[in-house]
Structure 1
Amino acid sequence: MDTRHVVERALVREARPEDDAVVGELLVDAFLTQYAKKLPEVVYGDERKRELRDVASRRKAATVLVAELDGQVVGTVALFKPGAPGSEAWLPNAADLRGLATAVSHHGTGLAQPLLDAAEARAREWGVDAVCLHVRRGAEGVGRMYQRRGFVREPVGDLDLPTVFLEGYVLRFKKD
């Protein structure tokens, strides 16, 4: 597959209610598949799968973007405004990026790039100072992908939750 062609053809737009079921299943499939390969000890229980599938609630608190190819939703990411319910951003006036995923059939095609471009552009439109995000400890490839985009590891943003340790990353915007 010509990855450049896939990325150029991707249409990124806001998710609509009719996208919720597809986006929810895409998230579950992508997270289960990717973590099963890279972190076999990670197990997603029914509660976590329900959370991933609850795109309608996520859309109430965040801007959910989708990538479309040939009329099919094949990727997603959510961006929470500063102070939005569910935001895990640790910096004031920072957006929180969550749930970046591509359809299993499109893993490795570069489809995350237009989604991240659109999310970062939206954050800039909001006038935020930074975008914060978390990566599951042990998912080094994911962390490297964000670092290539300019995110830096920021341990002050780490979350040590009962079932997972999440490492904080931040992309700061330069002020004109």
Structure 2
Amino acid sequence: MTRAAAVPVHDLTADAFSAYGWMLGKPMPLGNGVPLFSNDATDFWQEHVFNTGAGGDAQVLWVNYRSASADVASLEKHLLTQQAIVPLTGAIIQVVARSAADGTPDLATLAAFRVEPGQGVCMRPGCWHATRVTDAQVTCLMLTRRSTTLDLIQHLTTDAAASESAIAAIPACRLDVPHSQD
């Protein structure tokens, strides 16, 4: 029996995730031209300018992830839009890969990141991905393109081909999830 390739799960950092998109939830910047405001009652700053692609309406989704399987055998990507995921009720593991020249997942770039509540990721268009939880169901806020959601739902519930997303089988791999030292 062939053993699935192990994919280590890394802590999320802006530098480590930059090949796939942007880390969200970094500390408030110290100026550097970033629009921000701070007073005794509140702080806010521009974290990222989200791009849905030409002619797309942004959509906020509430997503409940339940798969705690360490096995990953498929990935999906969205062709037109960035997609942001922010876990609200627990940590998620975001599995990502860049696209090869032919559009398939580039398995040499396959990586996995632990994303804690208070952090998030925004993936570039064409970033292959899968999401896992480490324990129980995790509710996430997702920012995406409205037409991409409708296209994906139609594809997943009928025989219609997806035009804004793709799903690809990959050789089985297994997430190497470090256990906490409770």
TM range (shorter): under 0.3
Give the TM-score, by structure 2 length. Answer: 0.26
Q: Which has the larger radius of gyration?
A: 2
Give the TM-score, by structure 1 length. Answer: 0.26
Select the structure that is richer in strand. Answer: 2
Select the structure that is richer in helix. Answer: 1
